[in-house]
Amino acid sequence: MNGGKSVLVTGGAGYIGSHVARLLVEEGYDVTVIDLLREKGGVGNSWAVPARARFVQGDIGDRELLDTLPRFDAILHFAAFILVDESVREPEKYFLNNAVGSRTLFQYAVDTGVSSIIFSSTCATYGEVKVDAISETHPQNPINPYGQSKLEAEKSLKELCQQSSIGGARGTKFIALRYFNPAGAHSSLEIGQARPEATHLVNVAAEAAVGRRKKVMVFGDDYPTPDGTCLRDYIHIQDLADAHLSALRYLEKGGDSDFFNVGYGRPYSVREVLTTMKEVSGVDFAVETVGRRSGDPARLAADPSKIQFTLGWKPRYNSLRAICESHYLWEKKRSE
């Protein structure tokens, strides 16, 4: 336990934020969630906010609203738009929220003496890569506005936290976690992915398995990969939530600011995911192959050794089958 430290979870009504908020409540933290919710242009759902968390509806880029909140020991920041194809169509939307809004939040954190910030970043900051597993030192050259907006947020976070430490003070410390394709649902099946228009593969496949969509589109089968489809490193949502708790505890114990990849290091192709989803669901849903989607790199896989060694993070659900099965059961429950 942690002595009831106060934490703000931005985007805590969304998919990842709600899982982390729930874990923090279970660990004894005093949790406040801020989220726009779907009604105001966000993607969060009020039912996903833990019952024991305070809830504030609003925008993380609204400094006047932030200044009305109580002071926090830590901020865990998830409030972002995340769809690659949408970012290509509407780049300004992504930069205003993901980059500008995040800088406003980080400035607020530094100004009010927040000790720790855990930032939800992405492997999309790396762009197209030619290595089998990406380390944190790999050059960052995003190929879409989503990845670029997150990279800008990383830069703001590092800059502002460094400024807060001038003169020998500890200041505000941060950890940015670069995700590799979260998927799956909570083991309780009480929370999970619930976007109105899912685009992530595991989610789309699960929806097809329960009959919510007629088919799954495969965007390109001519990539330089073993079966021609894109390779991705998927991570179970509960392992991802645990990574945030590990990061927060590391900073609480005096750890320094840093960047970490969060994945398993074993990528799976689009076809492997679809085959696994068909196996766990017992449903042979339709699949159609079409042209490539703008902004998709051929392969993304993490080198997770740094987070495992430095933070002591150990995944518990490291299995494509476990990921697909939990996501399918969640979608099945939602359809009942």
User: The tokens of 252 are what?
Assistant: 């609480």
Q: How far apart are CA 33 and CA 8, in angstroms?
A: 6
Residue 71 to residues 74, 76, 110, 115, 247, Cα–Cα distance (Å): 9, 14, 11, 11, 20
Q: How far apart are CA 287 and CA 290, in angstroms?
A: 10
Parallel, antiparallel, or unpaired: how do β-strands 258-262 and 30-35 relate? unpaired
Is residue 250 flagged as an active site residue? no
* 56 CB neighbour count, 10 Å cutoff: 15
Q: How far apart are the first and last CA of the chain?
A: 37
Determine which one of 29, 146, 234, 250 is catalytic: 146
Burial class (CB in 10 A: 0-12, 13-18, 19+), 53: buried
Q: How far apart are CA 198 and CA 201, in angstroms?
A: 8
**Residue whose C-alpha is closest to residue 6's, from 72, 68, 70:** 72
Helical spans, DSSP H, in the chain: 15-26, 63-66, 84-89, 91-94, 102-111, 145-164, 201-209, 237-252, 270-281, 305-310, 320-335
Q: How far apart are CA 333 and CA 305, in angstroms?
A: 36
**Residue 68 amino acid letter:** T
Q: Which residues are catalytic?
A: 146
